[in-house]
Structure 1
C-alpha cells in the first residue's frame, strides 16, 4: 500500500471524532433477508484543515496534491488484520471502500459497501461490529500501524469511532421488524471515558456530525414509534436525520422500533 494511503486513511480515522462531516447510512433489505449496508462519508469540508495541518509541501511530498479515485477491496486486507475476530472478518470479507480525493476541487469522500446474506449479519453491522465501526478501525490500525523494524507511522486515534456510538444500542432485527434500544450499561461506559468530555464540549460549541439513516424495506411499514422517522410515499423507505453528537446527551431520542 502506498504511503499516501497511510496518511489519508489515518486522517480520515482521526476525523471520526474530532470534526464536522456528513455521514449517510444506507441499508437495503431484500425479501429473502439479504441486502447491502452502505456508509457514505463526505469529508470535503475538512481539506482546509488537512492543508493547514500538513502544509502544502508535505502534501506534495506524499503525492496528495494529485487526484485519487480508487477502490479498496476488504478481502485483500483481512489477512494482516490481527485484531479482528472471525465473525468480523466474515462480515467484512465481501466489502469494498471507494476513496475519492481532490484537494484542488475540495473533494474528500469515503464510501463503504458491505453486502450481507441474512438479517443476523445486518444486525451485527448495525451494532457497529463491522462496516463503519470497530471492524474498520481495527483493520486500519493493523494495516497502518508501526511494524517491527519500520519507521514510525502516523498514529491512529485512540478516541471513539462510529462503532462506539453504534454499540450503545441493542439492535434486534427479525423478518418484519427492526428495533434499536439504548443499552444503559454501554452508554454509561462510553460517556465515562475521559475523551468523551471533549466530545460533549463539541456539542455545546454547535459542532455537528450530520447523520442520515435510510432503510429500504421489502414491504410497507405498518408501525414506527419515533416521530423523527420519515416515510416515503409507498412507506417502503424510512429516513432519519440527526446530529450524531446529540447521542451523548439524549441517546433514547434516536432509538426506534419499525414493523413492516
Structure 2
C-alpha cells in the first residue's frame, strides 16, 4: 500500500470511531530516551471491518505491517515542500526522523498506529505534537496527511517538557487568541462529537522511583518508575492545561 493511501486510511479510522491515544515517554539514566504516540482504532475494525475492507479493495485481503519515516514521505513530496514557506519547511524538518508503524488486520479486527522518535534530551520535544498539524500543508485538502487526523496536535497550546533528574514537568500554555478563534469555528461541535468517546493517556517511564505526582488520578507501576494518567480526549483538545503535571523522584 502506498504511504499516502495508508495515511489517508488512518485518518478515516481516527475520525469515525472512538480511539485510544497513548503518549509514551521513556527516559534513560543519561536523560536520553524515546517518545511515541500510539493510536488504537481497533474498535472500528470490530464494528465495521467488512465495510472498511470494501473501501480498501484488494489491500483488505491481506494484513498490513508497515514501517516508514516521514523523511520517506517528504522525499516523495519534495516538489510540494519546496513551494512552502521557509518557516513551514523548518517545522517539517523537526519530524522527518519520526517513524510511523502501522498494523492492520481485518481478520483480527486490529488497527494500531505508532508515531515515534528517539531524543537526546526530553527538552527537544517542545511543541512536537503541534508540529504534526503542519503536515496538513502538504495536502490541499488539509486532512489526510497527518496519521492521527487533521486536528491532532492542534489544540491551541504550547507544550513543553522538562527533566533534570530531580523533577519532571509537562506543561501546556493555552494561546488565548487561537482558542477563541477555534471556539467560534462552526465545525467545532462536530469535532466534539467525533472525539467524545476517545481517550488520551499519558504513560511516562522514568529511571528513578517516583516520590509524588501533582495529579491525584495518577496510577503507578509496581516498581513506581512508571506513571499513567488517563483523560477524555476532549480535555486534550479543549483544555490542554488539564494535562499539566509535575513528578518528583526519590533521592
Shared fold per TM-score greater than 0.5: yes
Distance 1:97 1:233 in 2: 30
* CA contact 2:208–2:225 (8 Å) conserved in 1: yes
Structure 1, unaligned runs of 5 or more: 147-152
1:46 aligns with one of 44, 47, 69: 44
Report how far residue 247 of structure 1 moved: 4.1
1:164 aligns with one of 136, 149, 154: 154
TM-score, normalised by the number of residues in structure 1: 0.74
Report how far residue 182 of structure 1 moved: 4.1
2:89 aligns with one of 81, 85, 93: 85
Distance 1:193 1:154 in 2: 16
Match of 1:93, SS state, is coil
Root-mean-square deviation over aligned CA pairs: 3.2
1:75 aligns with one of 49, 71, 78: 71
Distance 1:212 1:249 in 2: 15
1:228 aligns with one of 175, 198, 217: 217
The aligned runs of 1:245-256 (5 Å cut-off) are 245-247=234-236, 250-256=239-245
- Shift in alpha-carbon separation, 1:217–1:192, aligned structure 2, 3 A: farther
Match of 2:127, SS state, is helix
Report how far residue 32 of structure 1 moved: 2.4
TM-score, normalised by the number of residues in structure 2: 0.77
Distance 2:98 2:144 in 1: 22
- Shift in alpha-carbon separation, 1:157–1:112, aligned structure 2, 3 A: closer
Larger mean CA deviation between 43-52 and 231-240 belongs to: 43-52
Match of 1:163, SS state, is coil
Is residue 258 from structure 1 mapped to residue 244 from structure 2 by the alignment? no
* CA contact 1:182–1:255 (8 Å) conserved in 2: no
Structure 2, unaligned runs of 5 or more: none
Distance 1:253 1:189 in 2: 20
